[in-house]
Amino acid sequence: MSSKFLILVAEDDENDAFILQRAFDKAGILDPVQIVRDGQQAMDYLSGANQYADRSIYPMPGLAIFDIKMPRKDGFEALQWVRRQHHLDQLPVMMLSSSAELCDIEKAYKLGANAYMVKRPQINEFCIALKGACHFWKETSGATELPPI
């Protein structure tokens, strides 16, 4: 993959977005990260709609990470939309949630998630898991599933 590998994150909670950005930094993930605040903004970004029309400023990501519980469109709705878009069918999507509920994990995979990661309170554990996941998607072209984390 090129050095322009972009990670799109849909996360509505500013504190979680800040912690996630710190986790990327701590894990040594130097790829650019674009954070949007809900599933609708993720869909707009991925379709190049509205403020995201200029692909020189808002390039297509190599990985999308969606929180589940967000306003307007939640992570499940955004994931379902992504999987219906022919031009996005190879985009890896990882769900990131504080929920470890089996029903949420099963729903994510049924809708086409490539991975599901539970937000961990221990930053070191979370950084290790995040680094492994991002490295996997960056280095593996055409992969469809991430080993469980």
pTM as predicted: 0.87
The answer to whether the CB of 121 falls within 8 A of the CB of 105 is no
Confidence of residue 146 (pLDDT cuts 50, 70, 90): very low
User: Which pLDDT belongs to residue 27?
Assistant: 87
Mean model confidence pLDDT for the chain: 88
Domain positions in the chain are 7-139
**Assigned CATH for 7-139:** 3.40.50.2300
First to last CA, the chain: 22
Q: Which of 3, 2, 8, 6 is nearest to 79 (CA)?
A: 8
pLDDT digit string, tens, across residues 88-131: 989 999 999 999 999 999 999 999 999 999 987 677 777 888 88
